[in-house]
Amino acid sequence: MKSVRTSVKGLVLAGLLASMGHAAMAQSAPPAPPMDHHGAAQMQEHMAKRQAELKAKLKLTAAQEAGWTTFTASMQPPAGPRPDRAAFEKLTTPERIDKMRALRAERDAAMDKRADATKAFYATLTPEQQKVFDANAMQHGQRGHGPEGQHH
């Protein structure tokens, strides 16, 4: 019985230490460096190409065009400057935590906006178009991965 209790204590302690280490790393991790203009332009170009391909596959009607416009507009990356890495490094740990929480709240709000726009657009599609949309949405997150998520 004593060995079981010791094992459980060891597992709890290991889990606690791992979570503390993860929290410490998350607190000190600065925001991602800003993307250069070329990288942003390349990403925009890739997104526009994918959207054009999807639009062609969906064969939208004139009545669906307004929904498409709203949907694609919601997918655009947020405008404005990215977080300043140097300023972030000057913050105290509690200030960094607060800043990261604020940034997370902004990302969550943007994600909710995109999700709502996607659902609204999806509702305007015919069942056949929904199948096309579903198939293409799954491809977006699986670039460069094999059937079991392995890199090619």
Sign of the alpha-carbon dihedral angle for 135, 142, 19, 8: positive
Ordered by where they begin, the domains of the chain are 37-152 (1.20.120)
Question: Please, are residues 77 and 106 in contact by the beta-carbon 8 Å criterion?
Answer: no
Which amino acid would we find at residue 123? Answer: A
Q: What is the pLDDT along the chain (152 residues), one digit of tens a residue?
A: 555 454 545 544 444 444 444 444 444 444 444 455 557 788 888 888 999 999 999 999 999 999 999 999 988 877 777 778 888 899 999 999 999 999 999 999 999 999 999 999 999 999 999 999 999 886 655 444 444 444 44
Identify the residue whose tokens are 């170009």.
Answer: 45
